[in-house]
Structure 1
Amino acid sequence: MSSHDFADRARGPHIDLTTALAKDDDVLVIGLISADDPDAAAPSLLIGEDLFDDATAEAVSASVAAVGGTGRAGEILSFPAPASLPVRLIQTVGLGSDTDSRDDDAIRRAAGESIRKLDGAGRVVSTLGDAGVGPAAEGYFLGAYRFEEFRTEKSASTKQPPADVRLLAAKTKENRAALDHALIVADSVAIARDLVNTPPSHLFPAEFAERARVLGSKAGLRVEILDDVELDKAGYGGIIGVGKGSSRPPRLVRLIHEAKGAQRSVALVGKGITFDTGGISIKPAAGMEQMTSDMGGAAAVVATAIAAAKLDVNVTVIATVPMAENMPSGTAQRPGDVLTQYGGTTVEVLNTDAEGRLILADAIVRACEDEPDYLIDTATLTGAQMVALGTRTPGVLGTDEFRDRVATISQSVGENGWAMPMPSELRTDLDSRVADLANVTNHRWGGMLSASIFLKEFVAKDVDWAHIDVAGPAFNTSGPWGYTAKGGTGVPVRTLIAVIEDIVENG
């Protein structure tokens, strides 16, 4: 797939609003809310119940009861539609209790589960828009996501998710705006997923940079790319050092959304290691194929910059994205080498598998030259993130107030970032025998925390900064759940977009 084909790829179903069922609809999706009393014999409440006349509502309720519908979260049931409805099938989707069903992420998860169960179905109409147009649209779009670029007819799915979903909701200006916003956000998440899912044989630094250029230019961003010669000449020692072992040289991409009259600016930085062997400090073979996801932070930042342009946010957004491949070879950097980061700080490389912080440090210094008000970097940075928080909860670190703000917003959009500390006593563990800093401590305690302390050394003093570690959340190694597919998840794109919009609104 060429970079232009990648940019034009359809990543989700067509989603629109409707106020009534039509003759060519195939499936009606109804949201169920569980009864307050779990022992009650009465069927669950139905979202969209007002669609039906009394006889039809009674028939649907009887069918729900007959198949044991409770409305618990994650419950998906199907049964033939009554003859009075112009559809062949009804699917019920559990939203949980009345309190739970008002949570936007419950709607997203229900919509995602719904569309995955509808493989091979035709045209779908859903009442979930009645619970929330934006969350329902995001859930349906992302729940339908698939990455099949490298499948031939031998292994291609014989079923496909519905290509057309209509949400039953009033066609108000507010609902239309919510739908349009949701589709831009969901498509941006899908772009990040596509980038992460593209194997390293096909997504190396030069190709990643080219895809970012095509996507960014199409969205109206100004794009700048530095190649390895320009990086070396400008003193980007971290990016050059990490990329030395690969035959495929590094890049630095800058994507710029300039908002006229904007009062604030936001810098984004994302780790773009297109494959990470660990370098000379090589990783174990088991699970190394998952390191195709080590550019998940960069993918999220590229996708967020594109969303900022499409949404035309009234804040300047500048993404600085370092891209390299970390390989072992006769030219690779060695444990014990000293490199000079962009800006002049020297670093002793004790472990070449702690490479992400080296390329991020260069990019952070460059991003701070733009004098942003806020800086957010994100990376699949440490296995310690998963040890501390598991595979679905990003760690959020940085300057206290902004860190907490980012974590709170992340939780509100369902990506569930969690604020973590940066204990001052860990700083001395990064002292080097021969340089300004060592890239790792001499112990394994608080690895996520010490990595952020390393990055802090490169953040300008007057910049509000947050670091989001998505080592686990960026790549789902288990089965699909909610609106999250196996493989690339697109985390933390929705957090980044929501933070930018919050800055627009609240400064």
Structure 2
Amino acid sequence: MTTLTLTDGKIASAKVDALVVASTAGTDGAVLAEGTDLPKNARTHLTSNLTATGATGKADEVATFAGVPGVSAGLVLVVGTGKADAAVPDAAERYRRAAGAGARALAGKKSALFALGGAEHARAVAEGVLLGAYAFQTFLGEGKSSSAKAPLEAAQVHVKGRHKEDVAGQASVVADAVRYARDLVNTPPNVLFPESFATSVSKRAAGSKVKLEVWDADKLQAEGCGGILGVGQGSGRPPRLVTMTYKPRGAKAHLAFVGKGITFDSGGLCIKPGTGMVTMKCDMAGAAAVAAAVLALAELKVPVAVTGYLCLAENMTGDLAQRPGDIVTMRGGRTVEIINTDAEGRLVMADGIALASEHKPDAIVDIATLTGACVIALGNRTMGVMANDDELRERVTGAASLVGEAAWGMPLPEEIRGSMDSPVADLKHTGDRAGGMMVAAKFLEEFVGKNDAGETIKWSHIDIAGPAFNEKSAWGYTPTGGTGSGVRALIELAQSYA
């Protein structure tokens, strides 16, 4: 992982391979960002060259110049931040993305200084650098391992004056959590399956304040978790349910996070087309986000108790694979008629939500790559947020937005529930095709329990089917492949309860 330090020295005299500064989108092209602390001759040189090269200052644009007068660094990268508009109104997020773009451009370099934004943007810039300087190279063979560029080795973030908070430390913990989630998502499904996923989290949690309990197939059977068992019964790799418990003294609240962990989704007997399976190693991104977030919250010593539930299964087509028409008994005793075996995520999540409810937390938040309908509605970069409580829904979307994760609140109309009525079981696990994102969430809502006062526990569902995996080009601090979607939102949400 890239090492990160803060500095308040003069940026022009820094002994680094590269200096990274920002530009904005002006009327006639790129303009150096206000407050860029460079000598006059350096600013003049950069301004004229930005004009000569036709730089626009738009987001993700990286203009590289060598031999800039008055600057010790051999290279100066001018990274566009775009402009404040309805798309990205938050300055911290614009600088976070610019830092990520700069870090990506500096792969293979030893050192760089990032002088972007003001002191109030320092943590965002630090996060952007660490998230942008990411590469998943674990499985590169002899053909590519020798030629692949390693991420930027060392980065300094320029911050004027002293800071009360540990900007570098907090950014490093959060970024490391996101990187762990990305690694899990990027790991091929022949290597990452329910048992090995649980083992990875157990190793990661060793020595931390997080306690783990792992239920194997026999324990899941004894505990009545028919949803997870049904999905996993067609695979030679049995399912697991991992409970992660972080319980600090004097905790100000108790949250439950439930993550979907389908380590590979073939669609089961309702099999997906071949092209639809190519990225299905990412169907455990929700569980990855929960695991990474709980571990980070413990490391940050956030005074909020958090219990994470990782619902892990592989959806395959073996001899015992679940069939349409089967009826399974879920945790808590409710029966569900199976309609489409490719709608498996909500089954494993329902068991997790029912289990979480038994411990009566203040709120339950589940996160999952749940529906293609969410992608159709909100695209590839925005998570959908639904809830049984308006205040919680706004709290979740607000936490996500605060850290730069795009989120949009969606309703849960009552009339959706009727489409899941079953003549042979308590309910079906699918309903009308229209509003499929909300249908899936409405199913999950059925398994939310009550608190000690007899009231329904506050619950929110986050659908990350779009942003969890990036099949297109890298942008900002977002790489191709696993993105770590939801990790920062969950961390920020828990911190809001502190």
Letter in 1 for 2:22: G
1:316 to 305, 312, 327: 305
Q: Secondary structure of 2:116's match?
A: helix
Partner of 1:117: 105
Judging changes above 3 Å, is the alpha-carbon distance between structure 1 residues 356 and 202 closer, same or farther for their aligned structure 2 residues? Answer: same
Does residue 1:407 correspond to 2:397, yes or no? yes
Contact 2:84/2:91, CA 8 A, preserved across alignment? no
**Which residue of 24, 32, 37 corresponds with 1:45?**
32
* Distance in structure 1 (CA, Å) of the matches to 2:83 and 2:319: 60
Deviations 1:189-243 (A, max 9, x none): 1111000000110001000011111112343211111111111111111111111
Question: How many Å separate the matches in 1 of 2:321 and 2:471?
Answer: 29
Picking from 438, 460, 481, the partner of 2:428 is 438
1:120 alignment partner AA: G
TM-score where L is the length of structure 2: 0.93
- Tell me the CA shift for residue 83 of structure 1: 4.3
Match of 2:62 among 65, 76, 79: 76
Native 8 Å contact 2:14 2:113 kept in 1: no
2:94 aligns with: 106
Q: Secondary structure at the match of 2:37?
A: helix
Find the partner of 1:427 among 390, 394, 417.
Answer: 417
Q: CA 1:187 to 1:354, structure 2 compared with 1: closer, same or farther past 3 Å?
A: same
Change (3 A) 1:171 1:370: farther
What is the identity, as a one-letter code, of the residue corresponding to 1:90? Answer: V
**Unmatched 5+ stretches in structure 2:** 451-455
Matching of residues 489-504 of structure 1 within 5 Å? 489-504=483-498
1:301/1:321 contact within 8 Å kept: yes
Matches within 5 A, 1:64-213: 64-97=50-83, 103-128=91-116, 130=118, 132-156=121-145, 157-170=147-160, 172-174=162-164, 177-213=166-202
Seen in structure 2, the aligned counterparts of structure 1 residues 13 and 315 have a Cα distance that, compared at 3 Å, is same
Match of 2:18 in 1: 27
Say yes or no: does 1:267 pair with 2:256. yes
State the 1:141 CA deviation: 0.9
CA distance in 2, matches of 1:192, 1:47: 35
Q: 1:385-410: per-residue Cα shift (whole Å, max 9, x none)?
A: 11111111111011222112211222
In 2, distance between residues paired with 1:161 and 1:296? Answer: 23
Are 2:60 and 2:101, in contact at CA under 8 Å, matched by a contact in 1? yes
Q: How does 1:242-281 map to 2 (within 5 A)?
A: 242-281=231-270
Aligned equivalents of 2:350 and 2:239: distance in 1? Answer: 15
CA-atom RMSD in angstroms: 1.8
For 1:259-408, list aligned pairs within 5 A.
259-399=248-388, 400-408=390-398
Q: Give 1:318 shift.
A: 0.4
1:264–1:373 CA contact under 8 A, matched in 2:
yes
- Checking the alignment, whether the CA contact within 8 Å between 1:339 and 1:347 is kept in structure 2 is yes
For 1:90 and 1:141, how far apart are their aligned partners in 2?
19
Between the aligned partners of 1:486 and 1:58, the Cα distance in structure 2 is: 36
Structure 1 partner of 2:448: 459
* TM-score normalised over the length of structure 1: 0.92
Q: CA deviation at 1:151?
A: 0.6
Answer yes or no: is 1:487 the counterpart of 2:487: no
Whether the 8 Å contact between 1:34 and 1:98 is mirrored in structure 2 is no
| In structure 2, distance between residues paired with 1:374 and 1:458 | 14
Instruction: Kindly state the Cα deviation for residue 101 of structure 1 after the two structures are TM-superposed.
Output: 8.2
| C-alpha distance in 1 between matches for 2:373 and 2:84 | 37
**Relative to structure 1, is the Cα distance of residues 262 and 213 closer, same or farther in structure 2, using a 3 angstrom cutoff?**
same
Q: Is the 8 A contact 1:216 1:255 kept in 2?
A: no
Instruction: Measure, in 2, the Cα distance between the counterparts of 1:154 and 1:489.
Output: 25
Cα distance change on mapping 1:44 and 1:16 into 2, 3 Å:
same
Task: Give the match for residue 59 of structure 1.
Answer: 45
Equivalent position amino acid for 2:461 in 1: H
Inter-partner Cα distance in structure 1 for 2:311 and 2:148: 39
Q: 1-side partners of 2:161 and 2:196: how far apart?
A: 42
Q: Distance in 1 between matches of 2:229 and 2:113?
A: 52
Contact 2:19 2:77 in 1 (8 A): yes
Distance, in Å, in 2 between the alignment partners of 1:129 and 1:17 is: 14
Are the equivalent residues in 2 in contact too, given 1:33–1:98 (CA < 8 A)? no
**SS across alignment from 1:34:** strand
